[in-house]
A and B are shown apart, each in its own frame.
Chain A
Amino acid sequence: MGILKLDNIKMQFGGVVALNNLNIDVEKGKIEALIGPNGAGKTTAFNVITGVYTPTSGDVYYNDKKITGLTPDKITKMGIARTFQNIRLFKNLTVLDNILIANHLHVKSNFLSHTLRMPWSRQEEKNMREKSEMLLDRLGLLSLKNEIASSLPYGEQRKLEIARALATDAKLLLLDEPAAGMNPSETMQLSNFIHDIRDEFQLTIFMIEHHMDLVMEISDKIYVLDFGELIAQGTADEVKNDPRVIEAYLGVEEDA
């Protein structure tokens, strides 16, 4: 059974149908990808999953629980975390603060006991810091923990955004174009990185990506979206040879 299920999702903005009859079933523990030409509705699909948009019709299920209509913070609390196409770090805060903020959703004691530094809140804060430093250490960012997020090199910012999503203890990670703006060798590293974290944190990964080499290499299953509709799904080889996919990407061959 899939960890994430989109059931007949339709998303309409005024007269524009951004997504139509979208059915997606992401299997637990797999790396699956959503591809398609610009404007196909990939990020809209992510926004529907994470609660930024409520779909016009259809439902989203996470672990068989209906999550349609929940606010983004509730959905994150249930275990779905995301990254953004244009990096959205807390730019003026430190690397460690970025990770600590993602831990805030687990805080149990209230603001008063945190302000007054009650023993149980101190313990909570201490655990949070230890956990965050451990995560940074495992991802190789620990030496940068006191740097301001916006001062990091681009690749590290992407990595930090993934780290931040992991810090929420999510089990399903949605990556919106993680390799955007990366050169081939950085993309290779990212591919290994995604594989590693999937294994280490027992994640399911669902990503939007334009780098075809990356997608073809690491995805267990690929969904192809065009003008809001799913035109193909399957393994890399299946999708690559699908005439509708070729048409969507390269256009129709006309008779001379």
Chain B
Amino acid sequence: MIDQRKKHNFKLYNIIIFIVFVAFITALDLKFLGDDYVRRVLSLAAIYTIVSVSMNLVNGFTGLFSLGQAGFMAVGAYTVAIFTVPLEKRAAIFYVVDQNPVLAQIHLPFVVALILGGLLSALIAILIGIPVLRLRSDYLAIATLGFSEIIRIILTNAKSITNGALGIKGIPEMPTMWVFFGVMILSVTLIVLLINSSYGRAFKAIREDEIAAEAMGINLFKHKVMSFAIGAFFAGIGGGLLASLLGTVDPKQFYFTMTYNFLLIIVLGGMGSISGTVIASFIVTIGLEVLRFFDEPLTLLGFNIPLFRAGFRMVIFSALLMILVLFFRNGLLGQKELSWDMITSWFNKKTLRRKEKGGAL
């Protein structure tokens, strides 16, 4: 009886939280709250959530150590950039090398270009996955990292398609934040549904023990390629959204260091925890902004503190990362998902400990 009522309450809490979240984003979106800076940072966090969750599907749930996320994002971002810039603006953007005459004629709606970018990412993932996914995990990391760099170099040099190092400007911006948050909710929901399906269990089996998984009739190669391609699809979608958020793309945005942001997020949130990844995406994206304070010169009691200068933020960030890896190796949630049971038992433990202390006194 009590359990039943408790469950009912939890459901109610979930609905309340969801409504508060929707109201909060809508209020921001309608400019009742915050400013453009806040809107941008939160939209970026939504995009990072999509990419991190997709990376967790591959790294945390299937146990493949892939570092190609930046490359797949670049594919998605450029697809959106190439096909959604209005035709009349094209000539002004491609002023050094003319755009490929076929591409110069094609304009696609944002949604179509976004999905096309995801599909293209997935296709490339399948093509590189076929040779690379036969490798052991550590080699896979190196190969995917290399792939990500190759993509970037192709983007720099295929000037008639990508405008080379100049990048593509004038990508139409989105009228509402809900584009980012809507796609985020949809993507995370789809990935959660996948993970909780029979295929998701097969992925987890591969993570737990490849030999046993294969002995249970799971085709390792097929499932690894599948997970890798689905991860790439959502990374491509994330890249496409990033292009429209920033309004511009250029190859330098997609350095492999970008992948480390996502790696940090999934390690912080917990490899194999979706809710952890979502929370960590927001913590890291917002945290990186808050830490900007360290990048500015600081004068304290008339002294100019010498450490505070451009780049110090990243030092702090790295130090936090090291602390994280040393003391919280499993991240915030490990392989668990955030649930009301977890929160209540955490609080109960706290009050219990306090009571015990009281008793001792």
Contact = CB atoms under 8 A, between A and B. Distances in A.
Given A72-B215, A90-B209, A92-B208, A101 B201 contact: yes
A152 interface: no
Nearest to A107: B198
Nearest to A116: B193
B211 interface: yes
B25 interface: no
Nearest to A84: B212
A114 to B, nearest CB: 4
Given A72-B215, A82-B215, A97 B197 contact: no
Contact of B217 (A73, A93, A114): A73
A164 interface: yes
Instruction: With a 10 A CB-CB cut-off, give which of B204, B205, B226 has the most chain A CB atoms.
Output: B205
A60 interface: no
Contact of B201 (A72, A77, A92, A100): A100
Nearest to B212: A88
A168 B194 contact: no
Interface residues of A, number: 36
Contact of A168 (B190, B202, B204, B216): B216
Instruction: With a 10 A CB-CB cut-off, give which of B199, B201, B220 has the most chain A CB atoms.
Output: B201
Instruction: With a 10 A CB-CB cut-off, give which of B194, B208, B220, B226 has the most chain A CB atoms.
Output: B208
Contacts of A77: 217
A168 to B, nearest CB: 5
Contacts of B220: 73
Contacts of A92: 208, 335
Given A103-B198, A104-B202, A115 B217 contact: no
Instruction: With a 10 A CB-CB cut-off, give which of A77, A88, A121, A124 has the most chain B CB atoms.
Output: A88
B193 A104 contact: no
Interface of A: 50, 52, 71-73, 76-77, 81-82, 84, 88-93, 97, 100-105, 107, 111, 114-117, 121, 124-125, 128, 164-165, 168
Interface of B: 190, 193-194, 197-199, 201-202, 204-205, 208-209, 211-220, 226, 230, 335
Given A102-B217, A104-B205, 7 more contacts: A73-B218, A84-B215, A101-B216, A104-B217, A105-B216, A111-B197, A115-B199
15 contacts: A73-B216, A76-B216, A81-B215, A81-B217, A88-B212, A90-B213, A93-B204, A97-B201, A101-B204, A104-B201, A107-B199, A111-B230, A116-B193, A117-B193, A168-B216
